[in-house]
Every structure is written in C-alpha cells, then in structure tokens.
Amino acid sequence: MLNQAKAVSIAERVSRVTQSGERWREINRLHATLGDGREFAEALEFLGGEASLGTTDVANSLAASFTRPFRPGRFSNGAYGVLYTARKHRTANKERAYWIGKSFSPATSESYKIRLQLISCMVRGHAKDVRGLLSQFPWLIDDDYTQCRALAMVAKAKGLHCLITPSARDRPKGTTVPIFEVSSVSQGRQDGVVIFTIHAGLSTTFRTQFT
Amino acid sequence: MLGTQLQGETPLPSDAGSNGRAKIETFPMLAGLPFFVREEQPAPRIWSISKQGIETGPNPFPATPAQDLKGRITGPVRLVQQIAHAWSLTNSELVNLLAYPSEGLVSALLDGRITFWPETDRGDRVRIMYFIHSTLADLFVEPAQEGRWIREPLDDLEGMSPLDCMLKNRILGMLMVRAFVEQRLANR
C-alpha cells in the first residue's frame, strides 16, 4: 500500500493537545500547599526529587513520546514511540475531544471541564501522504488498528520520519501527522490552552485560548 | 470524611511527657513493623521552623533520619492529607488504600501520632496516588470535579470507578488508574 502513496518532503509546524506535566507547575503546587519549609523538602525527596515531577519544557514533553515505556496507539503496538500530531489545531482538538469524551461516565449528569495545553513543533523529514488512498483502504480511520500498525512498521523500515494520514475524528478534511523519529521534531512551543467540556450524552465541545 | 479533620490543628496529647523527652511505644500487634507512637508535641508548624535556622546549613535536609520522622506530620503525610481531601476519602477508604490494619492507625497517621515510613510498600502507594492526584488537579478546571470523577464508573475500567479500581486491585489498580489518567486524559 505504501508504494502507492505519494512521497513528500515535509517541513511544517504541527499541533498537539496534551497536559504535559511540566515540573514547575508541580513544584508550585507543592509550595502552595506545603510552604517552603521542612515538609516541602521532605515531600520533594519522597516523590523522587524534582526530576520525577515532570518535564522541564515543551521540547522535553514532545520527546517523552519516544521514551520507554512506549504507548500503544493507532500506529504502534507499544514496541516503539510515535508522536501523534495534526496539521491544524482544530484537528488536534477534535482528536482529543473524542478520547476525552470516552473517559467519563456516560451516566454523568453534570458537565466536566478539562484544561489541556495546545502545543506545536516543527517536523522535518521524509514522509508519505496516504490520504488519497482512504477510499481504497478504509482501515486508515478504522477503530481496529491492526492494519495501521502494519503500515507504520513498513514506513519505519523504509526510513520515513512520519506519515500524512486522514484524521479519524475530523472528517473529511482533517489531517494527522504521526511522527516516528524524534530527530525530525524541533522548536516545540506552547500555543495556548484548550478547555474541553464533557456533556452527558452529547459530543465533547472545546474552546481554544491562544497565548 | 476527612475534610474537616485535616483542616484542624493537631491536638496535643493530654498525657504528653513533661520532661520533653519522647515516650516511644511500639504497637504490640504490629511487632516487627515500623510503627511507633510518640507521646509528645507533634511537628512544629512551618512558621516556627524558620526560627530554628533550617536554612543555615549547606544541606538542611539530608537523608531524613528515622528519629526525625517519628510522631509528626511530615511532608509525605501532608501529601496523604491532600489526596484524602481532594478525593473526599473516608477513613475506611484510606485504610484500604494505604493497607493499614485499622482506622485508628490512619487517624493517628494524619494527626502525626504515628510515623510514616517512606521506603515501604505504603510509600509506593502514596507516591502513585499523589501522581494521579497531581495530574487530575492540573486537568480539572473546577477542583471539586476531581473528587466526583474519581467516584464515577468508567467503561474502560470495567465499569468500576477509579477509586473502586484502586480499592479492589490495590497497587495494580493504582497503576492502572495512573496510566489511564496520564495517557487517556492528559495525553502524555
């Protein structure tokens, strides 16, 4: 299938929605609740020191996708890391909204509000664009990931840095960019905050606040 | 619920020793386990610590000596209090989550009357629960929603709530919930 896809060189900014677990926020939380004294120091030591409290910046949080243990997903069974990004922030939001909505009880009567960060990075390298092959290979957006994972294995074996794929959650125009090589990622930055609202029995909605 | 209990100041034991020395007593039923009761004034509060010149040495907090942990509300215990407050845990739930044999011991722990030893299975439980809590605290716009979410059943946890999953499956359940929170909710 990959032989039928168009080969492209990619150099563009892509988006991702995440709560990166940055260290400074956790340290601030500990300071706010424990003060600056003995208890703060004890708690920090107990938790494993500052390094255990999260990443230092966006670049480090992006690199975390390529650090063991790898997370299984559409394009990996967990044997290697993939950084899931999208060409547009709206697509990244829709992809995240889908998963967040599944993480709450369907019986929930009151809505929940969740805050995540919109981040972006540059991706440079060799890719194949498989979007035009969707009608021929509908499994590209299927919830059974078997074929997508097999495709990713071939792509990695061919030395591709990423794929350009149709978004399963932002149809019909959304484009996702699963990245396989950490070396192709650079210039990470935070672009804003996204507030997701999870309603009982309804689609999850979101609102982006750009910084 | 622990909420109100955690806000209060730790009471002085009525029979505290007058000579200022600790009276340490091991629970007979916990022989061999690192629990102690210390009948003296509990931890000084933060404002009084600065008066003790803590920041004068090159490393004011080297490896915490055992004697220093006994019978006061230490940093790790403060983390337990935070978790209990955020999740509105009952004493009974906290007993199970921390694998204590009785509710009395949990009350004593939270009051600073028994020692919490960090390097134990119980320490691992607290660490995992704290990382779950800290991620959730970052995620939820309204802090009260964290306590609600932790008690609502989820399809992905086989119909159990995250709290039930932790209570039923113990450390494994805590790891499951942590993975769920960090991967599914936080998308790390």
User: CB within 8 A of B27, min separation 6: which ones?
Assistant: B33, B35, B37
Q: What percent of chain B lies above the pLDDT cut of 70?
A: 62
pTM for the predicted model, two decimal places: 0.78
Q: In angstroms, how far is the first alpha carbon of chain B from the final one?
A: 33
- Cα separation, B39 vs A55, whole angstroms: 42
Q: What percent of chain B lies above the pLDDT cut of 90?
A: 48
Write out pLDDT tens, residues A35-94: 888 999 999 999 999 888 887 788 888 888 999 989 899 999 999 999 999 999 999 999
pLDDT of residue A177: 98
Contact B155 A106 (CB under 8 A): yes
Contact B152 A19 (CB under 8 A): no
Residue of A nearest to B76 (CA): A43
- Residues A84, A176: contact at Cβ < 8 Å? yes
Q: Report, as an integer, the average pLDDT of B1-18.
A: 35
Output A34 or B67, whichever has higher pLDDT.
A34
Contact B185 A103 (CB under 8 A): yes
User: CB within 8 A of B2, min separation 6: which ones?
Assistant: B81, B84, B85, B88, B89, B90, B91, B94, B110
- Residue B17 scores a pLDDT above 50: no
pLDDT of residue A195: 97
- Residues A101, A93: contact at Cβ < 8 Å? no
pLDDT of residue B119: 80
Residues of chain A neighbouring B78 (CB-CB closer than 8 A): 33-34, 39, 43
Output B76 or B66, whichever has higher pLDDT.
B76
Which of B138, B152, B156 to mutate against chain A (most A CBs within 10 Å)?
A: B138
DSSP B128-147: HHHHHHHHHHHHBSSTHHHH
Nearest chain A CA: its distance from B162 CA (Å): 11
Distances (CA, A) of A53 to A21, A22, A127, B59, B95: 8, 7, 35, 21, 26
Q: Report, as an integer, the average pLDDT of B76-89.
A: 95
- Cα separation, B119 vs A48, whole angstroms: 11
Write out pLDDT tens, residues B107-120: 998 988 888 888 88
- Cα separation, B86 vs B75, whole angstroms: 17
**A→B interface, C-beta within 8 Å:** 16-21, 25-26, 29, 33-48, 61, 64, 71, 96, 99-100, 102-108, 110, 112-116, 195
pLDDT of residue B68: 59
Nearest to B185 among A45, A64, A100 (CB): A100
Contact B186 A102 (CB under 8 A): no
Which tokens is A168 given?
């399963």
Contact A18 B185 (CB under 8 A): no
Contact A25 B138 (CB under 8 A): yes
Output B26 or A107, whichever has higher pLDDT.
A107
Task: Enumerate long-range contacts of A153-156, CB under 8 Å, 24 or more apart.
Answer: A154/A2, A155/A2, A155/A128, A155/A180, A156/A80, A156/A180
Neighbours of A144 (CB within 10 A): 9
B182 interfacial to chain A (CB closer than 8 Å): yes
Q: Report, as an integer, the average pLDDT of A95-103.
A: 90
- Cα separation, A150 vs B152, whole angstroms: 36
Residues of chain A neighbouring B143 (CB-CB closer than 8 A): none
pLDDT of residue B117: 83
Q: Report, as an integer, the average pLDDT of B159-173.
A: 96
